[in-house]
Amino acid sequence: MTEAAHPIRFLHRGAVVDVAAAAPTRTLLEWLREDARCTGTKEGCAEGDCGACTVVVGELDEHGELALKPVNACIRFLPTLAGKALWTVEDLAAMGGGALHPVQQALVDCHGSQCGFCTPGFVMSLWACYERHPEGAPSRQQLADDLAGNLCRCTGYRPILDAGQRMFDAPRAALERAPVVQALRELNSQPAPSQPGAYHAPRTIAELAALRLARPEARLLAGGTDVGLWVTKQLRDLGELIYLGDVAALRRVDVRDDAIVIGAAATLEQAWAALADEWPALREVWLRFASLPVRVAGTMGGNVANGSPIGDSAPVLIALGATLRLRRGDALRRVALDAFYTGYMQNRLEPGEFVEAIEVPRNAPAKAPPRLAAYKISKRHDSDISAVLGAFAIELDGARIAAVRLAWGGLAATVQRAAAAEAALLGRDWDEAALQAAQQALAVDFKPLTDMRATAAYRLRVARNLLRRYWLETRPVNPLPPRALSVWALEEAR
Ligand SMILES: Cc1cc2nc3c(=O)[nH]c(=O)nc-3n(C[C@H](O)[C@H](O)[C@H](O)COP(=O)(O)OP(=O)(O)OC[C@H]3O[C@@H](n4cnc5c(N)ncnc54)[C@H](O)[C@@H]3O)c2cc1C
Ligand code: FES
Ligand code: FES
């Protein structure tokens, strides 16, 4: 394949910036602070956790409209900005015509800042929310969900949430989108950006497949919410990168009659929204998966391919009977997700192959849907990695268990089904004796580890308790509504 260099250009402050000379793993935050001297954006953790570095990235969606996303600049590699637009805290006052933007003014008025270190990040998350809601203020809970990736250590969240509501009261100062859309169209009509031997950003599946075959050693980069940390925390040299985020056909989620097909580069936010639309029981796991800036950057394809034993998507997808569509050149094959992992962070991908899509079967309309539940246990409620995640689907024929899938993260070297516990249930009545047999069998299925998130004994105990909770919610006799078992519902009722 002939290699040609094509510039990496994006839109910043109304001008096109060319960063072709930057190293592919230079972060957007490094560029902002050290090159562009936009030091309003702060570095707190450099791992996507605190939100101090939040900026807003605009890109054209599949309908050609401008989509604005809050993004963690600390783990975003600069070349992935090609063809997109960037806004930082410095840009907002300019939009207010010299006065503070309503977002900033509301933070002042509500005393939403003390030391101010977190404030630029909050401002940008709030601005993204402001632009997403031209109709007016969202609910306070929606605001809190949007801000779950921004930490403040001194002000406290009440005044910040107050500001999030107050900002909608001022006369609207909306972004003028048409010139941005026009500029992005022009940028994207130019050849796909590339740095030979270092960085490629194909735009079609065929181009990606050819590149992947020609360079099987190159690292695939999707949202970079895992890979970014390999650079900022582990200081790893990643070698050549192939970026998936510009392959339009991979960024789609298609809801077909028989399946939800999640393109490998569709964001976590898109994917979870589609899954929770079909299975509302997944809403809590969706909103507790990282934070909005991570979910609008990271992909479900990356979560599954990375294969972390504590990744949140895999147990849910396995409980739903998902299959991966893998591509190598023109050749396609399908592998059931529960057969994909071969060991700790290892999987069945061949050299030159990649995940093209995740296919999740939908409920056949004529059939009683399986009872699905997923429970995440983590030290912090929001934006934390799981200690244990259990996802369960059971089909009952009367009281008898006709089919069962129990998938777990955090109990073994890979996300895994509990074969012995499933065998203890299949064909039996879904009663307390069956539950207890399955609880006992979990010790056969899993020998969990002790680490900083949880002890082995805690993991096993919590796994057994989650199974009990599931039974209480799904037993044929006197099932309890999920709210009766939710600590948050108890809290609200106080
Ligand atoms: C602050 C923070 C919070 C987080 N919270 C959670 C959480 O709550 N739950 C959770 O599960 N994870 C969490 N994560 C981890 C991360 O967000 C997810 O694993 C995410 O889904 C990774 O997707 P990505 O697109 O960013 O992948 P990348 O980082 O781009 O890639 C990850 C790996 O997958 C490979 N890869 C990517 N796409 C493909 C493909 N199509 N085919 C083959 N290989 C591919 C890459 O080469 C790399 O090895 C968190 C991360 C951060 C930074
Ligand atoms: S510096 Fe903490 S999220 Fe980026
Ligand atoms: S104002 Fe100090 S950390 Fe938020």
Q: What is the spatial distance between Cα 477 and Cα 473, in angstroms, rounded to a whole number?
A: 10
Q: What is the spatial distance between Cα 249 and Cα 356, in angstroms, rounded to a whole number?
A: 10
- Which numbered atom of ligand 2 lies nearest the CA of 45? 2
pLDDT digits (tens, 9 = 90+) for 355-388: 999 999 997 665 667 899 999 999 888 888 899 9
Q: What angle do CA 456, 457, 458 make, to 5 degrees?
A: 90
Q: How close is the Cα of 461 to the center of ligand 3, in Å? A: 38
Pocket test for ligand 1, best of 199, 220, 379 (most atoms within 8 A of CB): 220
* Contacts of residue 203, Cβ cutoff 8 Å, sequence gap at least 6: 192, 246, 247, 248
Structure tokens that stand for 125 in this block: 């998350």
Q: What is the spatial distance between Cα 121 and Cα 13, in angstroms, rounded to a whole number?
A: 18
What was the pLDDT predicted at 20? 80
Beta-sheet strand order (sheet of 400-409): 371-377, 388-397, 400-409, 416-417
Element housing 260 (H / E):
strand 259-263
DSSP state of 125: H
Q: What is the spatial distance between Cα 39 and Cα 29, in angstroms, rounded to a whole number?
A: 9
Q: How many CB atoms lie within 10 A of CB 21?
A: 9
Decide: 329 and 356 in contact? Cβ < 8 Å.
Answer: no
Do the first three CATH levels of 9-90+176-243 and 102-166 match, i.e. the same topology? Answer: no
Which residues on adjacent β-strands are paired with residue 10?
Answer: 17
What was the pLDDT predicted at 251? 97
- Which numbered atom of ligand 1 lies nearest the CA of 295? 17
Q: What angle do CA 105, 107, 108 make, to 5 degrees?
A: 65
Nearest C-alpha neighbor of 185 from the set 16, 70, 7 = 16
* Cα–Cα distance list, 226 to 146, 156, 346, 358, 472 (Å): 21, 29, 15, 19, 36
Pocket test for ligand 3, best of 154, 158, 160, 161 (most atoms within 8 A of CB): 154
Decide: 47 and 115 in contact? Cβ < 8 Å.
Answer: no
Pocket of ligand 3 (CB under 6 A): 113-119, 152-155
Name the residue at shortest CA distance from atom 3 of ligand 2: 48
Architecture of domain 9-90+176-243: Roll (3.10)
Give residue limits of the domains in the chain.
9-90+176-243, 102-166
Decide: 200 and 243 in contact? Cβ < 8 Å.
Answer: yes
Q: How close is the Cα of 239 to the center of ligand 3, in Å? A: 37
| Residues written for the chain | 494
Q: What string of pLDDT tens digits covers the 494 residues of the chain? A: 456 788 889 999 989 999 888 899 999 999 999 999 999 999 999 999 999 999 999 999 989 999 999 999 999 999 999 999 999 999 997 786 778 999 999 999 999 999 999 999 999 999 999 999 999 999 999 999 999 999 999 999 999 999 999 999 999 999 999 999 999 999 999 998 899 999 999 999 999 999 999 999 999 999 999 999 999 999 999 999 999 999 999 999 999 999 999 999 999 999 999 999 999 999 999 999 999 999 999 999 999 999 999 999 999 999 999 999 999 999 999 999 999 999 999 999 999 999 999 999 997 665 667 899 999 999 888 888 899 999 999 999 999 999 999 999 999 999 999 999 999 999 999 999 999 999 999 999 999 999 888 999 999 999 999 999 999 999 999 999 878 887 777 666 66
Nearest C-alpha neighbor of 307 from the set 416, 447, 454, 448 = 416
Architecture of domain 102-166: Orthogonal Bundle (1.10)
Q: What is the spatial distance between Cα 397 and Cα 429, in angstroms, rounded to a whole number?
A: 9
Q: How close is the Cα of 161 to the center of ligand 2, in Å? A: 20
